[in-house]
Structure 1
């Protein structure tokens, strides 16, 4: 006979049961990301896909006693379609990592083709899923996915996300080091895009704006914008930010799942097909959004910015316009 507590827990879990699929699950981001998703109680079916090793990763994770089953798929036997079938949320970390001296744009030619092909399968097998893009360069790969989904007639602007959460995590951590606070208590809004000068942390909207000297402020902004370079350099050619990116992806996926489950006031920053600057020709922009059962419930305005932040946003928009066009043009030339 179930105890009352057992019945309550069972009912709570059953009310928010979701299938989550990770494409590129055996990679440097994919493995820790899959582990963190296995620990999320809302994930009841975790499907892992990669060209190789996905079945081994799935077998490994399946031994962890949480409320989800794990299945691994490779390219054989129509594995990609099977991994995606009926998925509620799809995360795409697939692609090659950055190496020393490489920018995110250097990754474009390789990762663009990978993301395009995966997007085609998402359109065919999970057309209603929330799609979370981690593969860099996000500023261009998210527009690629949009163009593919549009060509298949299944694009939903409320359910396509570029995961920029790592910029938020870095901003929280790096700010806390400057002002000597608990990073877990910080909440910096980061807008724009997900590479270099397109990343705009809104420090003026924190309580510490007047406590930071210009020298420290400039260094903080630069570190947040180019924090990924620290990791690439420190790993000495052996990879890029995989563990912190996995945490960022898992956090954002968790927020999307909370929104789908109808939880209230779920707010994250993310790179989306945004109305904020469409009149200026900027079709995608990262800002805070409220998440809900249909995906994006509300897109937040940027709020009051300092003069310096206004300048940073202006620079970001010019770069984003080029990044977005690069993704759109790629699909036109390589449908």
Structure 2
């Protein structure tokens, strides 16, 4: 029998948080959706409670609201901050610093209030913010459960599914393309050779699709004249992963999703995105790096130095922040 879960949306009043909360309200897997933000989300909660589904939306504001939003949470989604995608042409360092501080503070509250919860880091850039969250857990609890800390990769997966389905003239909902590496154009490696159903393509077609997947965020930014990033697709991807996680925590078998996690599947890389089998304890099994073509191997080799740099950026931020607070 399924158990209704409590899910907390940290950053619910943001551009991603509001549509994400609506999508979660439509899901039967949650009994309570706790919406939290520094701005009062009371109106958002009130409006969402008018949606005629079983879950109840509760509102929580500010630093004092952390404890009530997170108490007894089964899943926590960190979507606070600016949804700025990391691209070669578009690096908003100021936004990143803001996001880093928000993720750090929220992670501290999670580690204090509900360390048993499955935590999904969505705030950009995930390659750096996931390590920040994990390092905070280590500082607060001296332990972080590697089976319950996730960096969102589903946006890359749904883009890969959509682009490949368009080329093959198939239903996107029938596609499943694993994406490994990290969550940025320079680190995300779509493994088209392992798509399901199997796709037979020329090398030229594979290169073209791969570039389209990796450049999808840039395309959205250009279409928005640089004023915005992918908002609705991130919200959809986050809701999709959260629902998959909820099903797995309820004992539904066969749930597989790609996510960035603490990992040793690739030597000298402490965080890596790969296909995962989800279960009652979060990650039931890390399925590791799929078989790769020579082209995909080259993509991964190119991605790893960028991924390591991003991870180090997050770890360095925590180290410096702790030094400042100590002073």
TM-score clears 0.5? yes
Q: 1:21 maps to what in 2? A: 8
Measure the CA separation in 1 of the matches of 2:4 and 2:20. 19
Aligned partners of 1:104 and 1:137 also within 8 Å: no
2:49 counterpart of 1:51: no
Q: 1:94 maps to what in 2? A: 80
Task: Give every structure 1 segment of 4 or more consecutive aligned residues whose post-TM-superposition deviation is greater than 4 Å.
Answer: none
Q: 1:1-335 residue pairs with structure 2 within 5 A?
A: 12=1, 15-75=2-62, 78-98=64-84, 101-103=89-91, 107-153=95-141, 154-206=143-195, 209-211=199-201, 213-277=202-266, 280-335=267-322
Measure the CA separation in 2 of the matches of 1:219 and 1:303. 21
Aligned partners of 1:179 and 1:208 also within 8 Å: no
TM-score, reference length from structure 1? 0.91
CA deviation after TM superposition for structure 1 residue 106, in Å: 6.4
Map Cα deviations across residues 179-236 of structure 1 (whole Å, 9 max, x no partner): 211111111111110001211011112355533x333322211111121111112122
CA deviation after TM superposition for structure 1 residue 50, in Å: 0.8
CA deviation after TM superposition for structure 1 residue 239, in Å: 1.7
TM-score, reference length from structure 2? 0.93
Which structure has the bigger radius of gyration?
A: 1
Map Cα deviations across residues 295-329 of structure 1 (whole Å, 9 max, x no partner): 10000022221000011111122211111111111
Query: Which structure 2 segments of 5+ residues have no match?
Result: 323-327
- 1:48 is paired with a residue whose SS is strand
Q: 2:325 maps to what in 1? A: none
Matched length: 318
CA deviation after TM superposition for structure 1 residue 40, in Å: 1.2
Measure the CA separation in 2 of the matches of 1:237 and 1:45. 36
Q: 1:9 maps to what in 2? A: none
CA deviation after TM superposition for structure 1 residue 270, in Å: 0.3
User: Which is further off, 133-142 or 233-242?
Assistant: 233-242
Measure the CA separation in 2 of the matches of 1:287 and 1:310. 14
Aligned partners of 1:105 and 1:137 also within 8 Å: no
Query: Which structure 1 segments of 5+ residues have no match?
Result: 1-11
CA deviation after TM superposition for structure 1 residue 261, in Å: 0.4
Aligned partners of 1:143 and 1:328 also within 8 Å: yes
CA deviation after TM superposition for structure 1 residue 27, in Å: 0.8
Measure the CA separation in 1 of the matches of 2:45 and 2:221. 28
CA deviation after TM superposition for structure 1 residue 103, in Å: 2.9
Aligned partners of 1:148 and 1:331 also within 8 Å: yes
Map Cα deviations across residues 119-153 of structure 1 (whole Å, 9 max, x no partner): 11111111111000000100000000000001111
- 1:25 is paired with a residue whose SS is coil
Aligned partners of 1:200 and 1:312 also within 8 Å: yes
